[in-house]
Amino acid sequence: MATEQIDPRYVDLDAWSSNEIIAAIYEGQLEAAAAVRGALGAIAAAVEDAVPALQRGGRLVYAGAGTSGRIGVQDGSELPPTFDWSPNRLVFAMAGGLGALVRSSEDAEDNEYAGAQVIVDAKVGANDVVIGVAASGTTPFTIGALRAASAAGAVTIAIANNAGAPLFDVARHHILAETGSEVIAGSTRMKAGTAQKIILNLISTTIMVKMGRVYRGLMVDMRARNAKLKRRAQRIVSEIVGCSESEAARHLEETKGELKEAILVALGAEPDKAAQLLERNGQNLRAAMASLRGNG
């Protein structure tokens, strides 16, 4: 596997100066980002398949082991505060359990049955989207999870860093970022991990945009749970509506912090009608605003 190969450029790495080591690692990170470009079409296809399933109430499921699993958990865990994605619509199939986030459990990745069992226990079905991540593309736990998810009819997405990865054989969508050998041979927390994080950013963020949780580049489904985020919510309402931040704060108070409802109220809707407008328009703010203007 390319991700495990020794790169002759770095055989004397331990004899280099700090500046030289850092420059080499930095260049590797740039290569990792560049490797994602060739996968953009596959990423878009996966998103287009995932969105309808999630619109029917499905969940996002992240499956992985070691570094890949941790990157998946990081991506998913950031969706509730950023987009108000319900934690009940997230499943983390992490080899060794969530305790492996901070204490490695390397042997857990060898258990294909355990990966499948997490999917079965979570009652994954046709409306769920399961993303399996493995740098090698050979991790038994992740293969087991995707195989079981595919059998259950879920939308399955495999992300790997080696061409011909067995992980691709058990998933509907194949996303390959060929990052090649690492500066430190086999240390896929580096180039491979960076590419995986970029791909997951692209998938999850685009899904949220397509599901109406972003309007004009702003996080209109954000939950304002601290002072900083409350100020941000006020700025978002003010920016979209064109009112003062003090007026925005009043509208947010009227709607109990529901940002999209506050925007509609600021545009003239009654609070209860704002909620109805959003419900009728699939929680899409742009559509709800158009409906309000048309007195829909």
Set 4, 31, 78, 247: catalytic member? 78
**Of residues 20, 27, 31, 109, which has the active-site annotation?**
109
Q: What is the CA radius of gyration of the chain?
A: 22
The pair of three-digit structure tokens given for residue 264, joined into one six-digit string: 């509609």
Among the listed residues 136, 129, 108, the one whose alpha carbon sits nearest the alpha carbon of residue 48: 129
Q: Return the half-sphere exposure (C-beta side, CA atoms, 13 A cut-off) of residue 3.
A: 26
Nearest residue to 188 (alpha-carbon basis) of 244, 134, 250, 239: 134
Tokens at 13, concatenated: 């790495």
> Is 109 a catalytic site residue?
yes
Q: Which two tokens stand for residue 222?
A: 């954000």
Closest C-alpha to 146, from 124, 176, 121: 124
| Of 52, 61, 20, nearest in space to 152 by CA | 61
Point out the residues that are catalytic: 78, 109
